[in-house]
Chains A and B, each alone.
Chain A
């Protein structure tokens, strides 16, 4: 069984699976249950300044979207940072860390955007012996209205400034948690790096309305007839998170900045994908909130099996796919594939036909006997038929060998060539 021991910016944990700062990590009771179940670390739910704690709504805090059988696909929340007194949290953090020395314990923080506030909270957490801090610049609801959370994370200058304060007043490793509610993730990530952050974690939740009550005409979750946007998370957000992680991992200005991957991690496979795109570890919330802490056992066994099968170590996985993330303009335009339908596997549902005929390139023929075949002379290899086919691997994309003639274009499949040199590219012509 592969060794999953993780060292993320000097913070050691027996595996790379941490629980994200969120309801599951709000108190000692939950965190100890998580450690008992096998989680490698936790980011304690965000602490605020000393004083009366925030209050939460007393109606529903979560909204969701479901697949059939009510499989939860996306969750949104309007919960704020911890609503327990600071002293209680600090005492419990201290107790937990003493008892669970081998696990990572990072404290998430969110205080008003002034140096004194940050200096004060950093001093207060110093003797908890926690392993690091995570700056919550991500929460998109509630706290953002008070100038914190994503209100900071959406302004790179603020990110850099606060990160500097944190590095100035604390020797703890500092992770900056980024909001996806921006136009380009590289700005906030670069700012965190410039401010001296040891790592970034992303994504925090996405601004969202999960559904509308069509009887009361209110967003859900509905509080006394009204709703507000919440933070969206769960399996549905994973593709968005993967892209942002990859952008930071591959861009020149942020390359090498350690990343803690967050966003819809539900299985070992999700975790492996984040790590292959450059995340040093992952943080999980929704999957645990949906299924309980026990899921980490599947993540541990699954990732171990995968690493064993590939005969690589955990650190070998990190960033392994990054060199293959590129810009559209560098994709090989001479890579020609054609859809192929395996007739032995085909169950004759005709979804490929409907999709191609109605919405794409009219490249699938249907016989009276419901035999579905690809018309190579029409197929542009868009992959839609593969995606709508209900049978795994029934339709595949078969690359054409170099030198063969593509019956659609009548041209021979040639060597690698991309848009930057394509005759249709106006900037190429301009350069001539």
Chain B
């Protein structure tokens, strides 16, 4: 350990070497078999269960939990994957506290929902460890579909299309498939290279070819894809990031949180990843929390999330906010950045307090300054690199048009969640399949 949390600047090696494995291990320990049986027994097997309705992929949750309770987690996994082929990752990253577990009747009854997310992970982990892939590819239809983007939407779409017997080519601009599962979520939520393992597992269906390093608009045009394939699915995500629009944004030490998270996810030895002594994260969503918590885990002395509106407007869930606070992150609400201070490199950020009124956000005269040798911008992603000519609504692709379907974060409608992307990819695949069958 050459450095400590107190070493000034953006440096690596702030912690003893063994601290990294501990800090970036499973954020939530997996359930063992007995814990799973006990947790499963709490499910009431509700009629027309609210948790199913709350799940964007409509997993039959009471059924899979009963299958766990009766000692058949493999059957449970099949129930999960039938609706959500990325059920393993969703079990890890879903904000269950605002989805299925919020709807659980035991949440209403006693404030302690059935641990649906952890049970889903248990079932899928058991089945994946056994090498089960309970789906078979139908006889080839001879139809070819291009999927652009190997994120959750594209992968879900590709799997369902392949299962129906279509030949799928997935084009991915990055070096690896997985999308945000691989590049965009906190490391401690998907330990053990789970994102890649899940991609490899998914590809067992056969009939899917993934071509990495291929970017739509640069290496291939949508028109070309439409000419070469029977259908095209765009799951290109939100590749753009919003600017801070504060003075000094260009100073060294200021970067996009998504880039930091992606770099962290691709760093084999986290002790080599530099992080600031005083880190400021600007934003209020999951990305802000993931960047902040991981900065702290890398050994930053102070980490502060600053969000311009009140706590109730933060898109990070209460659970995520609590997690950040427990990790030692300070969260300041109702403050907006005015300028990044520093001679070439960031040293501090000056903020103004804000007031959220009917006319929008108003800056107050009261200001404060936070030390910051590293500043992460996490104020939202935007559609970028979408082909011309497609209808756009609210900054997102509006929907199916001719031979082109869309899904995931780039598509209008639904929350920007992995599970929503999976649902949209799956449903697009079914729609494509229905049309291709009739041609």
Task: Point out residues on A near B: beta carbons under 8 Å.
Answer: 67-70, 347-351, 353-354, 366, 370, 390-391
B41 lies within 8 A of A353 (CB)? no
| B37 interface contact, C-beta 8 A | yes
A370 lies within 8 A of B44 (CB)? no
A347 lies within 8 A of B106 (CB)? yes
A351 lies within 8 A of B108 (CB)? no
B37 lies within 8 A of A351 (CB)? no
Interface residue tally for chain B (C-beta within 8 Å): 18
Residues of chain A with a CB closer than 8 A to B105's CB: 347-349
B41 lies within 8 A of A347 (CB)? no
- Complex CA gap A68/B69 in Å reads 8
- Complex CA gap A351/B46 in Å reads 6
Minimum CB–CB distance from B53 to chain A (whole Å) comes to 10
A372 nearest CB neighbor, chain B only: B47
Q: Mark B38-65, 1 if CB is under 8 A from A, else 0.
A: 1011101111111000000000000000
Number of A-B contacts (CB under 8 A): 40
A349 lies within 8 A of B41 (CB)? no
Q: Please judge, given known A-B contacts A348-B108, A349-B105, whether A69 and B38 are in contact too, CB under 8 Å.
A: yes
- Complex CA gap A69/B33 in Å reads 11
| B109 interface contact, C-beta 8 A | yes
Residues of chain B with a CB closer than 8 A to A347's CB: 105-106, 108-109
Give the contacting residue for B46; candidates A67, A68, A70, A350; CB below 8 A.
Answer: A350
Minimum CB–CB distance from A27 to chain B (whole Å) comes to 34
A68 lies within 8 A of B41 (CB)? yes
Given contacts A68-B42, A351-B44, A351-B47, 15 further A-B contacts (CB under 8 A): A67-B41, A68-B37, A68-B40, A69-B37, A69-B38, A69-B41, A347-B106, A348-B105, A350-B49, A351-B45, A351-B46, A366-B48, A370-B48, A370-B50, A391-B109
A354 nearest CB neighbor, chain B only: B47
Residues of chain A with a CB closer than 8 A to B34's CB: 70
Q: Mark B118-143, 1 if CB is under 8 A from A, else 0.
A: 00000000000000000000000000
Minimum CB–CB distance from A329 to chain B (whole Å) comes to 37
A391 nearest CB neighbor, chain B only: B109
B109 lies within 8 A of A350 (CB)? no
The 7 A-B residue pairs with the shortest CB-CB distance, nearest first, are A350-B47, A68-B41, A354-B47, A347-B105, A347-B109, A349-B46, A349-B105
- Complex CA gap A349/B105 in Å reads 6
B47 lies within 8 A of A353 (CB)? yes
A350 lies within 8 A of B38 (CB)? no
Residues of chain A with a CB closer than 8 A to B37's CB: 68-69
- Complex CA gap A67/B69 in Å reads 11
Q: Which of B40, B50, B105 has the most CB of A within 10 A?
A: B105
- Complex CA gap A370/B52 in Å reads 14
Give the contacting residue for B44; candidates A68, A353, A366, A390; CB below 8 A.
Answer: A390
Residues of chain B with a CB closer than 8 A to A390's CB: 44, 109
A349 lies within 8 A of B38 (CB)? no
